[in-house]
Homo-oligomer: A and B are copies of this chain.
Amino acid sequence: MNQIAPDILDRLRAVVGDKGVIADPAEMRPYLTEWRDLWHGVSPLILRPASTEEVAEIVRLCAETGTKLVPQGGNTSLCGGSVPFEGGDEIVLSLSRMHAVREIDLENDTITVEAGCILQDVQQAAEEAGRLFPMRIAAEGSCQIGGNLSTNAGGTAVLRYGNMRDLVLGLEVVLPDGRIWHGLRGLRKDNTGYDLKQLFIGAEGTLGIVTAAVLKLYPRPAAVETAFMAVPDVAAAVAMLGTAKALSGNQVTTFELVPRLGLDMVLRHVADTHDPLEGRHDWYVLMELSAGRDTGALKETMEAILVEGYEQGRVLDATMAASEAQSQALWKLRESMSEAQKYEGGSIKHDVSVPVSRMAAFIAEASEYVVDLIPGTRIVAFGHIGDGNVHFNPSQPPEMDKQAFLDRWDEVGHRVYEKVRKFGGSISAEHGLGRLKRDEIVQYKDPVEMELMRRIKRSLDPQNIMNPGKVLNPEG
């Protein structure tokens, strides 16, 4: 095991002081453990700097001594990008003490926050200021803005508001040599050279450490309509997305696919859930519209969408939430999908995207291809089909041994990704590469693109000290 020399550790401790160091093994554990328990990293120290200057001083010291760093936010990532490897020669730099809301500028519709702000706290600060910060993901109660930025987080409001990348106007970044890039601009237009902030968004901490950001705020929606509709197949769901976008004029906030198989699992295992429709149908869509002004027109719009859907045979049955409680009940069906799947044994998760127009063909072909490999596998394909993003998560056949099923993860993944490739998609829509998909991506991405990525990495982090081995294989 490589070791970081004791004098370097002492100097690092000195930068942040006692308050900023965690060295007790038990206290360190949550920072070293990937939250699904897939990886257990090793690190001599967790550093928790309190300011951008402290972050910069740490990175300067690491650059000087060739010491490796793993920047960490809420450690809720799904591809292992936020925990160190097992070698023991990486320092975890947690941004969690940097959680100030530095500024809210209402006329500019911006909020400036530090990287360690928890997403929910940003949502709440916006709400208290009479605005909306629209990013909405499952981990919002514990994930941090710096992580959201570094993974270009997605979630259930992308259809209307975009990914995290689309919500950023400016960044403050500590570069791999310890210099600070003061890019905290609150400008909606700025064409003065290369848009450097784009490099750090989605880079999973491999090109620098994001310490603060200027984020966009939006008007709070005054009217929200939620519907749950049964559709004959995925193609009909996609066609309904077109209808909904056209009739509402982009007021569709959420458009989520729910398969009957997954709904059954939820109804079976999750308390206080009920089938909102009477008959059994193979596919459902949870749809939300929102509008800034409550004129009653939104309800009318939703009704018009559903009526058109009935008439075209694309909606078989539907219900509209008549209250906030009913809306929450519908959302719960969608949001409990992952949890419910756990009670059904092993499942093999894929977060993939294809063009929206290929969604139906992709789900059909990939399902058949996986079931052909392991007969009896139950395909639970659900999620953000409005963005062309589906969580394609086969559950084990009921009678199969869990481990025997999970042992075939790579074979199943290979079949799913073959179909992703066929339909021009991505093997990681929302979750990034981290270490989980680092080597896999090389099989699916244009070698020219891989080489460009390596060039960018070498150019900004020539010593390879920033989250080394994540996203790109240093040997590759």
Residues of B within 8 A of A108 (CB): 355-358, 388
The docked-state distance in angstroms from the alpha carbon of A440 to that of B305 is: 53
Residues of B within 8 A of A191 (CB): 151-152, 154, 202, 426, 428-433
Given the interface contacts A293-B247, A295-B297, does A460 sit within 8 Å of B449 by beta carbon?
no
Residues of B within 8 A of A247 (CB): 292-293
Asked whether any CB of chain B lies closer than 8 Å to the CB of A89, the reply is no
Please give me the 10 A-B residue pairs with the lowest Cβ-Cβ distance, nearest first. A249-B292, A198-B198, A107-B357, A459-B459, A190-B426, A189-B429, A297-B297, A108-B355, A108-B357, A186-B355
Stretch at the interface among A43-51, A61-69, A217-225: A217-225
Check if A353 sits within 8 Å of B424, measured CB to CB: no
The docked-state distance in angstroms from the alpha carbon of A186 to that of B423 is: 10
Residues 191-215 of chain A, each 1 if its beta carbon lies under 8 Å from chain B, else 0: 1111110110111000100000000
Stretch at the interface among A120-128, A176-184, A366-374: A176-184
Residues of B within 8 A of A290 (CB): 249
Check if B107 sits within 8 Å of A249, measured CB to CB: no
Q: Can you give 27 A-B contacts (C-beta < 8 A)?
A: A107-B239, A107-B357, A108-B388, A158-B189, A163-B188, A165-B195, A183-B446, A187-B355, A187-B429, A189-B353, A189-B388, A190-B426, A190-B428, A191-B202, A191-B433, A192-B428, A193-B202, A194-B203, A194-B207, A219-B245, A219-B249, A219-B250, A247-B293, A249-B293, A293-B301, A455-B459, A458-B459
Residues of B within 8 A of A190 (CB): 353, 426, 428-429
Asked whether any CB of chain B lies closer than 8 Å to the CB of A400, the reply is no
Residues 136-162 of chain A, each 1 if its beta carbon lies under 8 Å from chain B, else 0: 000000000000000110100010001
User: A300 touches which one: B158, B196, B207, B295 (CB < 8 A)?
Assistant: B295
Query: Which residue of the partner chain B has the closest CB to A446?
Result: B182
Asked whether any CB of chain B lies closer than 8 Å to the CB of A456, the reply is yes
Asked whether any CB of chain B lies closer than 8 Å to the CB of A448, the reply is yes
Query: Which residue of the partner chain B has the closest CB to A389?
Result: B189
Tally of contact residues, A, Cβ under 8 A: 99
**Distance (whole angstroms) from the CB of A382 to the closest CB of chain B:** 15
Check if B219 sits within 8 Å of A180, measured CB to CB: no
Query: Which residue of the partner chain B has the closest CB to A301?
Result: B293
Check if A193 sits within 8 Å of B429, measured CB to CB: no
The docked-state distance in angstroms from the alpha carbon of A357 to that of B107 is: 5
Which residues of A from 292 to 308 have beta carbons under 8 Å from B?
A: 292-293, 295, 297, 300-301, 304
Asked whether any CB of chain B lies closer than 8 Å to the CB of A231, the reply is no
The docked-state distance in angstroms from the alpha carbon of A91 to that of B38 is: 55
Check if A356 sits within 8 Å of B109, measured CB to CB: yes
Check if B433 sits within 8 Å of A189, measured CB to CB: no
Given the interface contacts A190-B353, A202-B191, A304-B293, does A448 sit within 8 Å of B154 by beta carbon?
no
The docked-state distance in angstroms from the alpha carbon of A222 to that of B186 is: 32
Residues of B within 8 A of A163 (CB): 188-189
**Distance (whole angstroms) from the CB of A399 to the closest CB of chain B:** 35
Check if B452 sits within 8 Å of A196, measured CB to CB: yes
**Distance (whole angstroms) from the CB of A237 to the closest CB of chain B:** 11
Asked whether any CB of chain B lies closer than 8 Å to the CB of A437, the reply is yes
The docked-state distance in angstroms from the alpha carbon of A11 to that of B194 is: 33
**Distance (whole angstroms) from the CB of A111 to the closest CB of chain B:** 12
Query: Which residue of the partner chain B has the closest CB to A179?
Result: B448
Residues 278-322 of chain A, each 1 if its beta carbon lies under 8 Å from chain B, else 0: 000000000000111101010011001000000000000000000
Residues of B within 8 A of A437 (CB): 192
Asked whether any CB of chain B lies closer than 8 Å to the CB of A363, the reply is no
